[in-house]
Amino acid sequence: MTALLMLGFVAPPAMAVETAPESVYELTVNGETVVLDEGESVTFGMQAISPPPEPGKVMPRAIFTSNAGTLTVTGAKGKFTYGIAMAIPATSFVGVFSVTNLTNGQSGGAAPVWGFSGTVGTSNLKGHRYSGSLSGTADLLGVPVAHTMPNYTVFQN
């Protein structure tokens, strides 16, 4: 033990530690490449797709087109109004217009509709948002010739 005390404790020789190269990231946007080091950030602007809707209004009028015609849906004053303009011969339209109150999650039901234009009411609560969707089939003398495409219109009362 005396020998240990006389020699003392000797620290082990320092170990050589390899340092990993810092992480580098390349980001390419619109053909322009930016090199970023670990922890750096980049800020990009956003391009608007179309003019923003009027505050409180979301898609109050939507036009859905296809090769058989157009469906126009307008939401305002507590009701949805729809109009179908056929590009092919058709004699009648039968469908279902589904309404949902998005503010409280209640279903406004599914109203049967007949004809190429019409109106479907909502609960007409002030400040509530409503969504509507029309599905149906146009026919020519009883033979189906066209179906509605997926559509969804929202408005705030």
* Residue of 132, 133, 91 whose CA lies nearest to 114: 91
Amino acid 76: pLDDT: 85
Amino acid 28: pLDDT: 66
User: What CATH number is given to the structural domain containing 91?
Assistant: 2.60.40.10
- Ranges of residues in the chain whose predicted pLDDT is under 50: 1-12, 16-17, 19-20, 46-50, 52-53, 56
Residue 29 falls inside a structural domain: no
Residue 15 falls inside a structural domain: no
* Residue of 157, 154, 134, 156 whose CA lies nearest to 146: 134
Residue 125 falls inside a structural domain: yes
Please state whether the predicted TM-score (pTM) of the whole model is above 0.85: no
Separation CA 108–CA 114 (nearest Å): 18
Total tally of structural domains belonging to the chain: 1
User: Residue 30 corresponds to which amino acid?
Assistant: N
Residue 133 falls inside a structural domain: yes
Residue partners of 107: CB distance under 8 A and separation at least 6: 98, 99, 100, 101
